[in-house]
Chain A
Amino acid sequence: SQKIEQNSEALNIQEGKTATLTCNYTNYSPAYLQWYRQDPGRGPVFLLLIRENEKEKRKERLKVTFDTTLKQSLFHITASQPADSATYLCALVGRNAGKSTFGDGTTLTVKP
């Protein structure tokens, strides 16, 4: 069955360091992959989208990579700040299905 796994439920890092979050999937052929941020009591907020034929995307301090051979996406936040503390979700959309399938999320805490 299709499965999406995000590395560790929680990630703690020091301010200024780079946070790296992982999203692995199995039995899936995604057309594209997305990363969302969710704060407590709020709905997810879209951050980045990367298509199957793209290797890397950047937006300000954010960078996402997509390796369809490894079936993995990495999400990087450089020069992290306490305000980056939140839960980050990856979502896959398959070629044959219009629905998004979300991972369980990784809760990032950036300590000052």
Chain B
Amino acid sequence: KAGVTQTPRYLIKTRGQQVTLSCSPISGHRSVSWYQQTPGQGLQFLFEYFSETQRNKGNFPGRFSGRQFSNSRSEMNVSTLELGDSALYLCASSWGGDIQYFGAGTRLSVL
């Protein structure tokens, strides 16, 4: 069974731009969660989607948004990028929301 796939693996953007990250969950998993990981803040929850609906949301500004498609694939968008958005963005899928299977992440650098 293929694992969670995140694309791209690396991304360099400049301040003010926007970015879209993609996540393909494990086949059969309907829950997809997104996290931001930085050395100073650790792993911070962004949001969770289940069957195309946002089920949970973390404490991030509205510049961070996401969506889930009918095939459970998910995208995350960050608009008006700031230097502080530089981080490793991780996607995790699960069948019911408990045990999460993480992808390798997308490393975003904002210059």
Count chain A residues whose beta carbon lies closer than 8 angstroms to a beta carbon of B.
21
CB atoms of B55 and A98 under 8 A apart? yes
Q: Is the CB of A46 within 8 A of B99?
A: yes
Chain A proximity mask over B37-49: 1 for CB below 8 Å, otherwise 0:
0000011110010
Contact indicator A41/B104 (Cβ below 8 Å) = yes
13 contacts between A and B (CB under 8 A): A32-B98, A36-B102, A43-B4, A44-B90, A44-B92, A44-B102, A98-B55, A99-B33, A99-B56, A100-B33, A100-B45, A101-B45, A102-B42
Chain A residues near B102 (CB-CB < 8 A): 36, 43-45
Number of interface residues of B (CB under 8 A): 22
What B residues does A102 contact at CB under 8 A? 35, 42-45
- Residues 84-111 of B at the A interface (beta carbon under 8 Å): 90, 92, 97-105
Binding site for A on B (CB under 8 A): 4, 33, 35, 42-45, 48, 55-56, 58, 90, 92, 97-105
From residue B5, how far is it (CB to closest CB) to chain A in Å? 11
Distance A67 CA – B55 CA, assembled complex (angstroms): 29
**Which chain A residues in 60-107 approach chain B with CB under 8 Å?**
89, 93, 97-105
Chain B residues with CB below 8 A from A34, complex form: 98-99
* Interface membership of A42, Cβ < 8 A: yes
Chain B residues, Cβ within 8 Å of A104: 42
CB pair B104–A43 under 8 Å, yes or no, is yes
> Which of chain B's residues has its CB closest to A103's CB?
B42
Query: Which of A36, A45, A100 has the most C-beta atoms of chain B within 10 angstroms of its own C-beta?
Result: A100
**Which of B56, B58, B98, B101 has the largest count of A CB atoms less than 10 A from its CB?**
B98
Contact of B92 among A32, A43, A101, A105 (CB under 8 A): A43
